[in-house]
Chains A and B, each alone.
Chain A
Amino acid sequence: MRKCALSVMPDLLRAVAEATPLYLPVDTDKGDALFTRWFEGADWSGACNTARGPKDLFFPQTEDLVAFKTAGKTVEVLDIRREQEDFVVFGVRPCDVKAIEVLDRVFLSEPVDSFYAARRNHALIVTAACSRPTETCFCGTFGIDPTALCGDVTVWKTEDHVYWQAATEQGERFLAALDGFLEDADDTAVTAQRAQTAALLSRLPLHSLRADAFGGGKTEAFFDHPAWDTLSQSCLGCGTCTFVCPTCQCYDIKDFDTGHGVVRYRCWDSCMYSDFTKMAHGNPRLTQKERFRQRFMHKLVYYPENNDGLFSCVGCGRCLAKCPISMNIATVMNTLGGDAR
Chain B
Amino acid sequence: MSFQPDSLIPQVGVITDVRIDTPDIKTFRVVTPDGKKAFDHRPGQCAMLSVPGVGEAMFSITSSPTNTEYMEFSIKKCGCVTDWLHQAEVGQQITIRGPYGNPFPVDDVFAGRDLLFIAGGVGLAPLRSVINYCRHYRDRYGKIDIVYGSRSKADLLDYDEILTDWETDSGVNVHLTIDREEVGWSGHVGFVPSFVKELGFATDKTVVLCGPPVMIKFTLEELIAMGFDKTSVYTTLELRMKCGIGKCGRCNVGSKYVCKDGPVFRCDELDELPDEY
Contacts and interface: CB of A to CB of B under 8 A. Distances in A.
Nearest to A224: B274
A269 B248 CA distance: 8
Q: Report the interface size class on chain B.
A: 35 or more
B275 to A, nearest CB: 9
A174 interface: no
B53 A70 contact: yes
Interface string A260-276: 00101010010100001
A296 interface: no
B52 A219 contact: no
Residue among A107, A253, A305 with most chain B CB within 10 A: A253
A284 B249 contact: no
A277 B3 contact: no
B171 interface: no
A277 B239 contact: yes
B9 A79 contact: yes
Interface string A66-95: 101010011111010111000000000000
B252 interface: yes
A302 B252 contact: yes
Interface string B143-155: 0000000000000
B248 A264 contact: no
Contacts of A252: 242, 248, 250
Contacts of B8: 65-66, 113, 115, 253, 266
A330 to B, nearest CB: 22
Interface in B1-25: 1, 3-4, 6-12
A269 B52 contact: no
A266 B56 CA distance: 12
B184 interface: no
Interface of A: prevailing SS: mixed
A276 B11 CA distance: 26
Residue among B53, B92, B243 with most chain A CB within 10 A: B53
Interface string A98-130: 000000001100011111000000000000000
Interface in B222-259: 238-240, 242-243, 245, 247-250, 252-255
A251 B242 contact: yes
Contacts of B54: 255
A27 to B, nearest CB: 33
A325 B11 CA distance: 45
Given A77-B95, A79-B3, A302-B254, A279 B12 contact: no
Contacts of A112: 4
A158 interface: no
A284 B6 CA distance: 29
Contacts of B185: none
A280 B3 CA distance: 35
Contacts of A306: 255
Given A269-B249, A277-B239, A255 B53 contact: yes
B277 interface: yes
B93 interface: yes
Given A73-B92, A255-B55, A302-B254, A65 B9 contact: yes
A187 interface: no
Nearest 10 interchain pairs by C-beta: A250-B249, A68-B52, A280-B79, A75-B93, A305-B255, A114-B6, A302-B255, A262-B52, A262-B53, A280-B78
